[in-house]
């Protein structure tokens, strides 16, 4: 499979990195030659210093031989034009990053007229992820799988003696859950029964959604747990706008704090039933005057990672039950678990996962990138011709960096052990270190079709 990515920003680089691991032939185009030089230092991709709207360049690169073009430059209009040109020049599929709320109202028209196959909006997808978390009556929610039947959460075990110093196989009352990954000192570990948990570890737990609610209550007994009714959003940018709009549709009381007076006026005109406060959201006294301590949730959604993380932490200390921060710098990933806020979301990872799901297609239902993209959770529908169907997990002898976290069969959730068997038609949630994805594909290569058939065929350039 050949993929061209136009725009070597955070999203373009993360997507290229993920595709290279899967042995996809990637070309990265950007006008900034210095950025491309840095990319070449750590990534095996073809880099081209040029404009993506230059038809001569697209022809010179033989865009007609590419399976996919992803346009993720800073401009919505530029991305739209690039996709349109690529499609007219013979590129099979195109994806555009489009962020402007005005364009989101006419997506079907834009896609049809401009030849765009798929559109991603990082801010809207981030707002959706925040909304989903806020609507869950658990405090440590990470994500859903199998149409909501399976939930993953993560939490820092601190010095909890129920976990610290114990092997996973010896944890009491944990048979209905599976620890699929451990975040430790910025690294992600795919564990086994004899993995010892250490103080300060963050564990990623998968289970039946109803059981996960019980687990959240078990370890958050002293926190207020109720339906979210009042939310404060720090930052009135695109994420803040999309989130406030969606939450008011859920009949949630929303307060937005924004420092830019003109933006406040714009939000007041566009958002109904939202209280917009003009002021500095880093001023804790202002937030206290606006009843921060009585909020059910606080969301840091400005364009500054440090402000979002700091104020989410301040809100947590003020007694807000749920605190969320948006961040984009990947090097912050390794310290977030230690800060004490509930959730930190990275729009780059959310968007990259969305694009990877589209690229893989077929039996791949969803993709979630974990810990800065070092790990991955993938939901897959098992095909009929998989070599290892009918075998127990113990007989499959999966590589050490891969674990099957849950099996959904006929609507029922199975938390697997060594004796569990995978059957055709099952939905399975697979957790893997990103570096082990090639091994996973090799290990689960089907005879004809099956679990990774679509992914396998596309990365090998066959259909």
Q: Is there a single domain that holds both residue 377 and residue 332?
A: no
Q: Is there a single domain that holds both residue 436 and residue 399?
A: yes
| Residue ending a domain, choose from 345, 380, 414 | 345
| Residue ending a domain, choose from 345, 374, 396 | 345
Look over the chain and give the mean of its residue pLDDT values, rounded to a whole number: 84
- Inform me whether the pLDDT recorded for 119 exceeds 80: yes
Which pLDDT band holds residue 152 (cuts at 50, 70, 90)?
confident
| Residue ending a domain, choose from 62, 89, 120 | 120
The mean-pLDDT minimum among 145-159, 303-317, 406-420 falls in 145-159
Mean pLDDT of 102-116: 82
Contact 326, 300 (CB under 8 A): yes
The mean-pLDDT minimum among 53-57, 340-344, 416-420, 423-427 falls in 340-344
Q: Is there a single domain that holds both residue 255 and residue 175?
A: no
Q: Which domain holds residue 59?
A: 2-120
> What pLDDT is recorded for position 93?
94
Which pLDDT band holds residue 136 (cuts at 50, 70, 90)?
low
Alpha-carbon span 223 to 299, nearest angstrom: 18
- Higher-confidence residue of 433 and 127: namely 127
Q: Is there a single domain that holds both residue 100 and residue 159?
A: no
Number of domains present in the structure of the chain? 4
Q: Which two tokens mark 243?
A: 């989130």
> What pLDDT is recorded for position 431?
83
Output the pTM of the full model. Answer: 0.75
Q: Is there a single domain that holds both residue 17 and residue 100?
A: yes
Q: Is there a single domain that holds both residue 309 and residue 364?
A: no
- Inform me whether the pLDDT recorded for 278 exceeds 70: yes
- Inform me whether the pLDDT recorded for 449 exceeds 50: no
Q: Is there a single domain that holds both residue 213 and residue 232?
A: no
Q: Is there a single domain that holds both residue 207 and residue 233?
A: no
> What pLDDT is recorded for position 459?
41
Q: Is there a single domain that holds both residue 175 and residue 235?
A: no
> What pLDDT is recorded for position 455?
41
Q: Is there a single domain that holds both residue 253 and residue 335?
A: yes
> What pLDDT is recorded for position 380?
79
Which pLDDT band holds residue 134 (cuts at 50, 70, 90)?
confident
- CATH code, 391: 3.30.70.1450
- Inform me whether the pLDDT recorded for 446 exceeds 60: no
Could you give the angle at the alpha carbon of 226 between the alpha carbons of 306 and 286, nearest 5°? 40
> What pLDDT is recorded for position 108?
81
| pLDDT tens-digit readout, 385-426 | 666 678 888 887 777 788 888 898 888 889 888 889 888 888
Which pLDDT band holds residue 105 (cuts at 50, 70, 90)?
confident
Q: Smallest Cα–Cα separation from 64: which of 81, 85, 48?
A: 85
- Higher-confidence residue of 387 and 68: namely 68
Mean pLDDT of 153-181: 84
| pLDDT tens-digit readout, 197-212 | 998 888 888 888 888 8
Contact 447, 32 (CB under 8 A): no
> What pLDDT is recorded for position 460?
42
- CATH code, 44: 3.40.50.720
Q: Is there a single domain that holds both residue 95 and residue 69?
A: yes
Q: Is there a single domain that holds both residue 209 and residue 300?
A: no
| pLDDT tens-digit readout, 25-39 | 999 999 999 999 999
Which pLDDT band holds residue 112 (cuts at 50, 70, 90)?
confident
């Amino acid at each position: 499979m050949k993929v061209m990515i136009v725009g070597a920003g955070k999203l373009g680089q993360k997507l290229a990195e993920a595709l290279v691991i899967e042995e996809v032939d990637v070309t990265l185009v950007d006008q900034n030659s210095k950025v491309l030089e840095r990319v070449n230092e750590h990534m095996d991709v073809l880099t081209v210093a040029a404009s993506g709207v230059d038809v001569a360049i697209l022809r010179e690169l033989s865009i007609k031989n590419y399976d996919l073009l992803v346009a993720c430059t800073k401009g919505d209009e530029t991305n739209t034009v690039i996709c349109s040109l690529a499609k007219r020049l013979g590129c099979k599929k195109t994806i555009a990053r489009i962020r402007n709320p005005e364009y989101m109202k006419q997506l079907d028209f834009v896609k049809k007229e401009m030849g765009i196959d798929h559109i991603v909006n990082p801010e809207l997808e981030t707002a959706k992820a925040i909304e989903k978390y806020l609507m869950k009556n658990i405090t440590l929610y990470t994500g859903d799988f199998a149409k909501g039947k399976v939930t993953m959460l993560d939490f820092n075990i601190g010095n909890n003696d129920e976990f610290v110093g114990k092997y996973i196989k010896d944890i009491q009352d944990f048979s209905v859950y599976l620890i699929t990954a451990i975040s430790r000192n910025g690294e992600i570990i795919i564990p086994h029964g004899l993995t010892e948990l250490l103080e300060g570890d963050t564990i990623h737990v998968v289970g039946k959604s109803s059981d996960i609610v019980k687990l959240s209550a078990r370890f958050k007994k002293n926190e207020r747990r109720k339906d979210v009714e009042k939310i404060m959003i720090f930052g009135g940018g695109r994420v803040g706008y999309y989130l406030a709009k969606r939450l008011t549709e859920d009949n949630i009381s929303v307060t937005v704090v924004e420092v830019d007076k003109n933006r406040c006026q714009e939000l007041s005109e566009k958002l109904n039933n939202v209280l917009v406060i003009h002021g500095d959201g880093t001023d804790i006294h202002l937030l206290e005057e606006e009843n921060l301590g009585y909020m059910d949730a606080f969301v840091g959604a400005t364009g500054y990672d440090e402000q979002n993380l700091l104020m989410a932490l301040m809100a947590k200390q003020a007694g807000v039950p749920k605190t969320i921060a948006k961040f984009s710098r990947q090097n912050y990933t390794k310290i977030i678990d230690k800060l004490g806020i509930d959730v930190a979301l990275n729009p780059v990872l959310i968007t990259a996962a969305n694009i990877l799901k589209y690229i893989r297609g077929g039996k791949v239902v969803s993709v979630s990138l974990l810990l800065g993209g070092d790990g991955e959770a993938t939901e897959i529908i098992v095909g009929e011709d998989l070599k290892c169907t009918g075998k127990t997990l113990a007989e499959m002898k999966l590589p050490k960096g891969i674990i099957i976290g849950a099996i959904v069969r006929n609507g029922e959730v199975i938390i697997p052990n060594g004796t569990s068997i995978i059957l055709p038609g099952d939905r399975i949630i697979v957790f893997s270190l990103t570096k082990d994805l090639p091994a996973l594909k090799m290990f689960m290569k089907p005879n004809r079709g099956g679990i990774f058939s679509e992914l396998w065929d596309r990365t090998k350039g066959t259909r």
